[in-house]
Amino acid sequence: MNTVTAPRLDLRGLPAPQPMERIIACLHTLPPGQRLVALTPMYPAPLLPMLEQMGFAWDAQTTTDGACLVVCHAADRHLLDAPPAP
């Protein structure tokens, strides 16, 4: 079985722009073949075009208390198909 490693950040209690800053900092060290799962206090619309410019692929879903953002390197876009771990 192929397991997807997913660092997970719960950023829902942080004020802007801290969630965005922490996601970007984590992505600077994200190895190829891994993805980041981040829970954010709101849908991260301002961050999404930045992720694409930085060479990442993403999927974001609105949740009852913010959003769930999954990010990986663009070459690993297939990792977005695996559901985030609970």
User: Is residue 2 in a domain?
Assistant: no
Helix (H, G, I), strand (E, B) or coil at 48: helix
Half-sphere exposure of 27 (CA within 13 A, CB side): 24
User: Is residue 1 in a domain?
Assistant: no
Question: What domain count does the chain have?
Answer: 1
Domain span holding position 40? 8-80
Task: Return the CATH number at 55.
Answer: 3.30.110.40
User: Is residue 3 in a domain?
Assistant: no
The widest CA-to-CA distance across the chain, in whole angstroms, is: 38
What whole-number distance in Å separates Cα of residue 30 and Cα of residue 13?
23
User: Is residue 42 in a domain?
Assistant: yes
User: Is residue 85 in a domain?
Assistant: no
User: Is residue 86 in a domain?
Assistant: no
Tokens, residue 56: 């990442």
Query: How confident is the prediction along the chain (86 residues), in pLDDT tens digits per residue?
Result: 345 557 899 999 999 999 999 999 999 999 999 999 999 999 999 999 999 999 999 999 999 999 999 999 999 999 998 776 66
User: Is residue 20 in a domain?
Assistant: yes
What whole-number distance in Å separates Cα of residue 50 and Cα of residue 13?
22
User: Is residue 36 in a domain?
Assistant: yes
